[in-house]
Structure 1
Amino acid sequence: MATKIEEFLPDSAFLIDRQAKDWRDAIRLAGKGLEESGFTTSAYTDEMIATVEKMGPYIVIAPGLALAHSRPSEAVLHTGLSWVRLSQAVAFGNKANDPVSLVIGLAGRDENEHLQVMSAIAKALSNPKANAALKSAASAEEIRAILSE
């Protein structure tokens, strides 16, 4: 990735070992991380939830992992990520990959940046060793180090 992972995933974007009562709550947490990092407005969180309501739980892209996102819009101020690890997994309605314990919020300012960030995440998550390390990483620094490898 041309830019540093810290730019897309600052400390304020991490919500580790949080509780969510359902998938909407889990997406709200991801939205909170994006908002608190200055990447989006609260409207983007509503857009992410509306996307799942309209298109189904296709955002659950691997066992236990949801990539919460919506299309680039006025609600996206900067491209960035949030990282939510749930203390208790929740169902999104995706038979193959439920329940979900990791929700990554993705806000893309434009299609190119959106794809650049998604590709870096996909690379890390497709590596079984890195994926296992991410599940037990205790801090923002540790997670960023794994993603940067």
Structure 2
Amino acid sequence: MKFLEESLIALDVDIDTPEGAIRETGKLLSASHLVEESYVDAMVKSFNENGPYFVLAPNIALPHARPEDGVHEAAVSFVRLKNPVKFGHASNDPVQLVFGLGASSSDEHLTVLQRLMGLLGNPDNVEKLLHVKTHEEINQMIGGN
């Protein structure tokens, strides 16, 4: 599983639409050959059809699509938006931290979510993610080397 590796992180991206934010997380995944381009389109389509169901907490969105939409390897990308964006969620808007999820099976999906929830379940970590300046700082938070 590729989890918030340096190539999967973009900080202070200047995008002002939910679709743009979703595409940016997907672009990081597809550029690393972890998902197909079609998966990025499926992520946006899922948002357009189902709304902001993946805006799980204030400031936090976890866009994803189905494994069969083109996932090669389980991965999580991270885009911090320069300015918060409204996704249309009644209580959790606006969003500034967007994590793109790709998983090739239900089991992988659960593993990825558990790892992400371990990170985001701590309010201190969420606050840090709003202000980190380097991948190294993120790596320290997730217990990387």
1:32 to 9, 12, 27: 27
| Aligned-partner Cα distance in 1 for 2:16–2:59 | 16
**CA gap 1:53/1:132 in 2 versus in 1, 3 angstroms:** same
**Superposed CA offset, 1:92-146 (max 9, x none):** 0002011111100000011111110111111111111122112211112211221
Q: Structure 2 matches for 1:117-128, cutoff 5 A?
A: 117-128=112-123
1:19 Cα deviation from its structure 2 partner:
1.0
User: Which of 110, 123, 142 in structure 2 is aligned with 1:147?
Assistant: 142
User: Which residue of 2 is the match for residue 23 of structure 1?
Assistant: 18
CA distance in 2, matches of 1:62, 1:30: 18
Partner of 2:110: 115
1:43 is aligned to 2:38: yes
Alignment match, 1:52: 47
Shift of 1:74: 4.7
Query: SS of the residue aligned with 2:34?
Result: coil
Task: Report which stretch shifted further, 56-65 or 7-16.
Answer: 7-16
Match of 1:70 in 2: 65
TM-score (norm 1): 0.91
- Calculate the TM-score normalised by the size of structure 2: 0.93
Query: Which SS does the other structure have where 1:70 is aligned?
Result: coil
CA contact (8 A) 1:124 1:130 kept: yes
On the 8 A contact 1:44/1:76 being kept in 2, the answer is yes
Number of residue pairs matched?
Answer: 144
- Identity among equivalent positions (%) equals 36
Change (3 A) 1:52 1:74: closer
Q: Counterpart amino acid of 1:55? A: N
Aligned CA-pair RMSD: 1.4
CA contact (8 A) 1:23 1:92 kept: yes
SS in 1 for 2:142: helix
Contact 1:83-1:102 within 8 A present in 2 as well: yes
Q: Which of 125, 130, 137 is the matching residue for 2:132?
A: 137
